[in-house]
Copies of this chain bind each other. A is one copy, B any other.
């Protein structure tokens, strides 16, 4: 076990790494060539334009203030941040803030009470086992059956109550933020629109007629209009292909413009590797023409073929009240027909899944549940197989002529050190994609729901394979086997006993994965390199450059589960080895600042779900609380302090009740839309704009993106943009663009702009 000194060295190294990242970032961000990588958000909003063409910033005065992005990131007030980046981002930041609010007081309390209680024993000194200073601070230092364990039980109560108090406050706040956000929003198509799925087939009427008749009959005074859903996946593929070809055309044209002496050529065959050589520019232009025609033909086909109309439709109502009513009620006696739900906002829709029938949904979820179970517990088996193939002997057998090369000591060392890990590494890199794919197969229809679902899966995977896997060494599969053959008591005990022993491991984990990971996030090394390459090879116009920026987005499906592991570690170790807590606090603090900066300057908002993910976050913190209580129970029962078990059990029951209370009290704010709110907005709007043509406004809101704008994709892109700005993203933006003065508080943006232009 590591001593305090070892931890100190490790901490120093990691702090140095993180600090290096931050310094590099602070310098690189001032360089004009990287401006679009570190401030893409402002470019997308049109509030920043390319700096005067200098490649390197030579003004040394600006370097003196190289760390001022931190206060700048913290300066923008929350309401303005909501306008700037949407509610999702702001509430996402509140997860880190929640971590700070929970753990700062807990840390003080733990250091004031638990550390002295643990320290003033000499159990470890009297025993023969090796121990370190960290163990002296932990629960391990308390003798068997000591009454001092009551301190830990009481502290577990205090920690739980504090956590629940903060969680409750936060849930209340987020719920009210969401409702205020929804209430303050301008008119949006999804407020009036309901998605109807599983329209039953009818021999006499088309889907469109059927939908119209059904809603004219059953919501006679409220029905306004509807849009059917086309199966346009082929068109979408063709559009994608055309875009790629356009990129190649741009590349060729740029190449030609740089070196006018020689027109670029390419081969026509497979991947441009074989076949006859032709002029690239001509070839790609012809390709684009061909694809445009194909797209148009396919579009016509989809529009005219009744079979490409899916049994689903977006139905719009005259009032928000009527839409709220239709979304929350059951339409027919068969609940699997005419299923209604709120339409997601247009840019949030995952069009591919709109037409999955109900029965198929059940089966899909079953299959994915089974697949996910196997993925979580047995993923190690195929990887071990690959590893066993990918060793020196395996390669030598497969490709014997490489033998002399492989046998060279340097290469052999690389292969031996590198190959066994690479399969696992690749798997872990692709894991979020795999989980997202699984969620897509399950048939969710909005990107936000997909991300939430994928996040839930990722959390379970991390919980089983990182947390439990690190505590009980052995694969998840072996754990599963143990779980089946051990009693519930024994399982909790086995894990509980190992908890204090793994403290140093998790401290290192926090520093390497948490601190350095966050610092690496702000550096954006990969987007920087990709942007520079694109900028050199592809970019001709400002528009191209805009497209070459890859601002990225928050990535709820990977980010949130990784935060949750720190909540879990903090809560589990709070009563056992409090020395871990400061490391967690540093993580939350650093991550809060870094992500606030990223949200202000970098990430582009893909959709706005109005913080719909908060119930998941809340639920997982509660799960962490319960896990921490169970493990403490197991640990204490091996310390001859089993009389505390009932007390901790009561605490667990209370925690579950708290969860249920919060669910009843707040969750509906994230799922339903109260009629009173709807009615208020309707009335307000009717008096303010009595002659607004809602039908015209809603007519084309829910058209598949590939049908927007007719022939030209560029045009469609423009329309899409314009439409976005008019209706989807809310509030102040237009007015701000019209006023030449920057907003009073946007301190973070304006200084960096001027700096970059110096």
Find residues 340-359 in chain A having any chain B CB closer than 8 Å to their own CB: 358
Partner among B338, B664, B676 whose Cβ is within 8 Å of the Cβ of A362? B664
**With an 8 A cutoff between CB atoms, is A429 at the interface?**
no
Instruction: Give the distance in Å from the alpha carbon of A334 to the alpha carbon of B666 in the complex.
Output: 8
Q: Are A679 and B217 in contact (CB under 8 A)?
A: yes
Q: Are A335 and B218 in contact (CB under 8 A)?
A: no
**With an 8 A cutoff between CB atoms, is A336 at the interface?**
yes
Instruction: Give the distance in Å from the alpha carbon of A665 to the alpha carbon of B333 in the complex.
Output: 10
Q: Please tell me which stretch of A227-235, A467-475, A486-494, A503-511 contacts chain B, meaning at least 4 of its Cβ atoms lie within 8 angstroms of it.
A: A486-494
Chain B proximity mask over A309-329: 1 for CB below 8 Å, otherwise 0: 000000000000100110011
Instruction: Give the distance in Å from the alpha carbon of A666 to the alpha carbon of B334 in the complex.
Output: 8
Min distance, Cβ A443 to any Cβ of chain B, angstroms: 13
Min distance, Cβ A283 to any Cβ of chain B, angstroms: 53
**With an 8 A cutoff between CB atoms, is A734 at the interface?**
no
Residues on B with C-beta less than 8 A from A486 are 487
Q: Are B657 and A330 in contact (CB under 8 A)?
A: no
**With an 8 A cutoff between CB atoms, is A668 at the interface?**
yes
Query: Quick one: closest B residue to A175, CB to CB?
Result: B333
Instruction: Give the distance in Å from the alpha carbon of A489 to the alpha carbon of B481 in the complex.
Output: 10
Q: Are B487 and A218 in contact (CB under 8 A)?
A: no
Min distance, Cβ A422 to any Cβ of chain B, angstroms: 32
Q: Are B333 and A674 in contact (CB under 8 A)?
A: yes
Instruction: Give the distance in Å from the alpha carbon of A331 to the alpha carbon of B674 in the complex.
Output: 5
Q: Are A325 and B331 in contact (CB under 8 A)?
A: no
Instruction: Give the distance in Å from the alpha carbon of A669 to the alpha carbon of B672 in the complex.
Output: 21
**With an 8 A cutoff between CB atoms, is A754 at the interface?**
no
Instruction: Give the distance in Å from the alpha carbon of A217 to the alpha carbon of B684 in the complex.
Output: 13
User: Chain A: how many interface residues by the 8 Å CB criterion?
Assistant: 47
Q: Are B668 and A330 in contact (CB under 8 A)?
A: yes
Residues on B with C-beta less than 8 A from A660 are 362
Query: Quick one: closest B residue to A183, CB to CB?
Result: B333
Partner among B217, B667, B675 whose Cβ is within 8 Å of the Cβ of A331? B675
Find residues 353-374 in chain A having any chain B CB closer than 8 Å to their own CB: 358, 362, 366, 370
Q: Are A328 and B331 in contact (CB under 8 A)?
A: no
Instruction: Give the distance in Å from the alpha carbon of A713 to the alpha carbon of B217 in the complex.
Output: 47
Min distance, Cβ A662 to any Cβ of chain B, angstroms: 10
Min distance, Cβ A194 to any Cβ of chain B, angstroms: 12
Query: Quick one: closest B residue to A661, CB to CB?
Result: B362
Residues on B with C-beta less than 8 A from A321 are 218
Instruction: Give the distance in Å from the alpha carbon of A398 to the alpha carbon of B486 in the complex.
Output: 49
**With an 8 A cutoff between CB atoms, is A485 at the interface?**
yes
**With an 8 A cutoff between CB atoms, is A464 at the interface?**
no
Instruction: Give the distance in Å from the alpha carbon of A660 to the alpha carbon of B332 in the complex.
Output: 20
Min distance, Cβ A490 to any Cβ of chain B, angstroms: 7
Q: Are A676 and B332 in contact (CB under 8 A)?
A: yes
Instruction: Give the distance in Å from the alpha carbon of A407 to the alpha carbon of B661 in the complex.
Output: 59
Chain B proximity mask over A650-671: 1 for CB below 8 Å, otherwise 0: 0001000100110011111100
Write 28 A-B pairs (CB below 8 A) sorted by A numbering.
A218-B675, A218-B679, A219-B675, A324-B329, A325-B329, A328-B328, A328-B329, A329-B672, A330-B668, A331-B676, A332-B675, A333-B676, A333-B677, A335-B664, A335-B665, A335-B666, A335-B667, A335-B674, A336-B664, A336-B665, A338-B676, A358-B664, A362-B660, A362-B661, A366-B653, A485-B489, A486-B487, A488-B488
Known: A328-B329, A333-B677. 9 other contacts (CB 8 A): A329-B674, A330-B668, A333-B669, A335-B664, A335-B666, A335-B669, A366-B657, A485-B487, A487-B487
